[in-house]
Structure 1
């Protein structure tokens, strides 16, 4: 059994994943609590992949507030020897190879990708199977967009599940 590549993200109602100061504390302030869909994603997660910038923003926190334990891969262009969190695996190179290694690390379960750059690269390479999106009822006005990739062909999505402001979307190939 091979897991799926799932982009798991929370965004503001106006489409941002971080505010103008690159902060994400608004997610906790406006959080309506855990969703069944979010719990399902965490339960099926075999490995977690994000960019080095996300680690800088969150610090040493483990994914999902520490409720999930497993391999954490950090996609970076920095020298892995200079990275401060030894329990994480720092990876670089072509996103196709990084995703393949992440799926191996997931051991048949899902590889969760999150952040800005890593999911964008994975979508553009045709590697994301689903997007699980939690929309937080807050308007930020500016910040880091959920998805911003000028000049790229549109990616068609199909709504599989919608529960309030939580969505599971399949990438149509």
Structure 2
């Protein structure tokens, strides 16, 4: 897939990452990220986002963060899962289909804007299958020492081409195109 496909936005893996390579702390904790994004340092990223595709575990962490009044608003949210909940959640579509089909559905819902991919497992699977156009990483000035790594083991080599780096306060945003 590419950003030229039928006028669709790009598929972008979006990460906040500690300097030592963790996207979540022990027990999938993400509270350490909040302080860096209270005032949105890169509003253009959210403005370009039309939908999000995330894994179930990432969704559960996001719900906890939302309960603390730190939710995200990037358009429709699609959760790829093997077991959808019994009760539907407002604003969330649970998908149990193939990964490529999930990406296609979420991209269509993005309305020509970017589809953001969140979560180590879903993002790694999308990268392995060549479904990603860009990787965006917010490097935060913290060392966690343990937690959830940037990608799952077995990802294999993915070549990237850097095209942008921007700093806003303590946050550095790095952007890469995925070489295909």
Question: So what's the TM-score if we normalise by structure 1?
Answer: 0.87
Deviations 1:19-51, CA, capped at 9 Å, x for gaps:
112211111245585333xx2221111111111
Give unpaired runs (5+ residues) of structure 2: 1-6
The question of 1:8 aligning with 2:14 is answered: yes
1:54 to 51, 55, 58: 58
2:3 corresponds in structure 1 to none
Structure 1 residue 94 displacement after superposition: 1.4
The question of 1:21 aligning with 2:27 is answered: yes
Give unpaired runs (5+ residues) of structure 1: none
Structure 1 residue 9 displacement after superposition: 1.1
1:73 corresponds in structure 2 to 78
Structure 1 residue 93 displacement after superposition: 2.0
Q: Alpha carbon RMSD of aligned pairs, Å?
A: 2.2
What SS does structure 2 have at the residue aligned with 1:127? coil
- Structure 1 stretches (4+) deviating beyond 4 angstroms? 30-33
User: Residue 46 of structure 2 contacts residue 74 of structure 2 at CA under 8 Å; is this kept in 1?
Assistant: no
What SS does structure 2 have at the residue aligned with 1:103? helix
Aligned length: 168
Question: So what's the TM-score if we normalise by structure 2?
Answer: 0.84
